[in-house]
Structure formats: structure tokens, C-alpha cells
Structure 1
Amino acid sequence: MIEDTALPAELEMLMDVIRRRRSIHQDQLSPEPIPMEYIQWMLEAANYAPTHGLTEPWRFTVFSGEARRALGEAFAQSYRLAFTGEAFQESAWIAQKERVWKAPVWISIGVRIGTHPKIPEWEEIAAVACAVQNAHLVAASLGLGAFWTSGLPVRHENTARFVGLEPPDKLLGFLYVGRPAIPWPKARRKPWEEKVVWRE
């Protein structure tokens, strides 16, 4: 058991940050601004994600302050395009416009596709996911909550164009970031031993 083994100091610090990382919903964040250098540190960490062929396929756009207003309008427009007829709900449309004010920073998560003929799309998406995890770990180390949201309005092709992505590149959602307005949530994980098979 790992709990019975003393970890090297640097590894213990790293494990503490990994165990601390949480997905905290927008309704559980404070709208107060956060220092932009925090976001820069997150993106610096994201840039060191593993990437097959050094394609570095992650593409981010950061929205804060008043720029969130246009983002909310884009979410609302995408909702209207995606849900028509009886599926359209005005309350949900309004919620898409207003949700951007619940977190001080929104970061679009884009992936560049097809930059290397031998690298499949899934590997590029995996690289972007690693980049987001790196950023999320830095956020946790700074006491910030974050959440990777991937609902239809935030991934819609209209929203993708709004953040500057054109096919074949794709929008995988947004990472929103802020200070938690709730006590830091406890971890909920089953023991890793239940998910591993050893063959020696």
C-alpha cells in the first residue's frame, strides 16, 4: 500500500496537489476577479503537456472582465441554433447568456487537427486533455476551483468560430476558473487497487 511507504518530499508535494484537484461548478464559485498571472501560470503548465510529434495541438482563448459579455451572447446564440421548436426554452437561453458572470475567467479548449499526417485525432485530443489537467493542477495549487464544461452550447460550431476555430479544428469545451465560495470539497475516489490488475 502506498500509504505505508514514506514518499520523497517532492513527490509528496506533487501527490498532495493531485489529490487536491477538484472540479467545482460555476454555481459554487465566487465571481470576484483573480490575478491574471495565475492564469498565465496555468497556461505555462498546460504548454508542457505530452504531445506526440511535438504538434502541441492545444489552443486556448481567455475571457475575463467585460469580454465575457460577448462570450455569453455566443453561448446563447449557439443554444438557439442547437435547440429549435419545442426543445427551445427561453429560461435556458437566458441562462447561457448569464452563466459567464458566475466565474471570473473562462478559457476555451481547442484542438488543432491534422497538423501531422501520422498522428490520429484521438492522440491530439488526449494531448489537449493532458494540457488541461496540467492547468487544473496549477489552479488547485493556488486554491482555485475549475471545471471543464462541455455541454452542447459551449462546443457548438458557432461558439468554435467565435473563439477562432475553424474545421477541422474542434472546440472541446471551456475551463472556467475562480475562487471557491464553498469549503474545499473532499475527494471521492475508490481505491486504485480495485482498478488495477498485476501480472508478474
Structure 2
Amino acid sequence: MSIFELVRNRRAVFPVQYNDQPIEREFIAELLEAANWAPTHRKTEPWRFKVLMGKKKGELGEFLSTKYQETETRPKQVKIRKLLENPRRAGAIIAICMQRDMNESLPEWEEIAATAMAVQNMWLCCAEVGVGCYWSSPGLIKYMHEFFELAEGERCLGFFYIGHYHEEIPDQTRMPIEEKTIWLE
């Protein structure tokens, strides 16, 4: 499959679609190595990752579910259940974090963009081998410093859920690029 085909075929595969087949630690290490080669302005390499496996996934679900109930005036039972169950369904979860350059030598958005490119590298690697993944960024990520330690200037941008799946992922369409492009000559 060419890189263009891989990009076009990449899809979000959600935790509810995952099966019980485990994700190997070696595969996650390969994903992280691919992430490490993302472009980075001024070589700040702002991406940071925390890999949750085994019982830690369940603990994340408990934390998110409890925090949601504590902070929401009218918590919805369906969301409580989803926050609790999705981490358990995943083969692994990678917390996506960004370490801000302490000298602030470049705009923060560039470091967020570099981190997003690192995640795209992981996503493309998963798509190439047929492993499902999904980037979730719930509002509760602002409380992640209560769940795991974050360095000064580090913040959590979301969770990269990973899991094997069996079902067919539907094709998607996009608006033509011509509707989004202006050529200036």
C-alpha cells in the first residue's frame, strides 16, 4: 500500500469495536519510535507519552468516571458507563502529552502541532497493520495531573486508544480538496 493509500484509508476505530486480543508491548514501542520521528520546530521534541496497560486502564476508567460525576451538575449514566468501560476495552492506551519548551522559544501551537504529527505517525503505523486506534480528548484531560504526574510545563492532550478489531470499517468521503484550496500565482 502506498503512503497516499494509507493516508486515505486511515480511520478512527473506537473502543467499542475492539476485541479482547492483546496489544504487544513491542508493537507499542514501535509506535512510540515512529512518533519520535515527527517534525519538530527548533527540535523541541515536545511529545511525551504515558502508556497504560493492564489494571492501569481500569484505574483510568474509574478516575474519569468519578471525576465526571464530581464535576458535572447533571451526569448522564450513558457517559459514566462509557468513561468507565472504554479504557477497559482498549488493548492499550497512550496518554498524549505535550511538554512546553520552558524558554517558550516558539509558539505553543507549534508544539501542539508537532505532538499531533507524532500521533499521526502512530495512527498511520496502526492503519498499515490493521490495528484500530482513536484519539480521544475529553474535557476531563484538564484533571489528569491528579491521575499521573506531569512535569512542569507538561499537559495532557488526550488519549490514544489502541485495539484489535474484526468488523469492517466503513469507507468515508471527503469534500473535494478543490473546495478548500485557493491557488495563488
Counterpart AA for 1:55: T
2:116 to 105, 120, 129: 129
Provide the rounded CA distance (Å) in 2 between the counterparts of 1:104 and 1:120: 35
Provide the rounded CA distance (Å) in 1 between the counterparts of 2:159 and 2:120: 13
Could you list the per-position Cα deviations for residues 73-131 of structure 1 after superposition, in whole angstroms to 9, with x for gaps in the alignment? 221232133213xx134553343222212211111011112423321111111111111
Counterpart AA for 1:168: G
Q: Which moved more, 1:23-32 or 1:161-170?
A: 161-170
Counterpart check, 1:199 vs 2:184 = yes
RMSD, aligned α-carbons? 1.9
**Unmatched runs of 5 consecutive residues or more in structure 1:** 1-11
Q: Name the counterpart of 2:145.
A: 160
Contact 1:24 1:147 in 2 (8 A): yes
Q: Name the counterpart of 2:40.
A: 51
Contact 1:58 1:111 in 2 (8 A): yes
Q: Name the counterpart of 2:15.
A: 26
Contact 1:26 1:176 in 2 (8 A): yes
Counterpart AA for 1:162: F
Contact 2:53 2:92 in 1 (8 A): yes
Contact 2:46 2:101 in 1 (8 A): no
Contact 1:160 1:166 in 2 (8 A): no
- TM-score, scaled relative to structure 2: 0.90
- TM-score, scaled relative to structure 1: 0.84
1:181 to 141, 159, 166: 166
Q: Name the counterpart of 1:79.
A: 68
Counterpart check, 1:171 vs 2:156 = yes
Contact 2:20 2:89 in 1 (8 A): yes
1:166 to partner: Cα distance: 4.9
Could you list the per-position Cα deviations for residues 22-45 of structure 1 after superposition, in whole angstroms to 9, with x for gaps in the alignment? 111221222321222221111111
1:92 to 57, 79, 85: 79
Q: Secondary structure at the match of 1:189?
A: coil
Contact 2:94 2:159 in 1 (8 A): yes
Contact 1:64 1:105 in 2 (8 A): yes
**Of the two, which has the highest radius of gyration?**
1
Q: Name the counterpart of 2:128.
A: 141
Could you list the per-position Cα deviations for residues 129-152 of structure 1 after superposition, in whole angstroms to 9, with x for gaps in the alignment? 111001100010110111110112
Q: Name the counterpart of 2:98.
A: 111
Give the share of equivalent positions with the same residue, in percent: 37
Q: Structure 1 segments of 4 or more deviating over 4 A?
A: none
Provide the rounded CA distance (Å) in 1 between the counterparts of 2:114 and 2:50: 17
Q: Which moved more, 1:115-124 or 1:134-143?
A: 115-124
Contact 1:79 1:152 in 2 (8 A): no
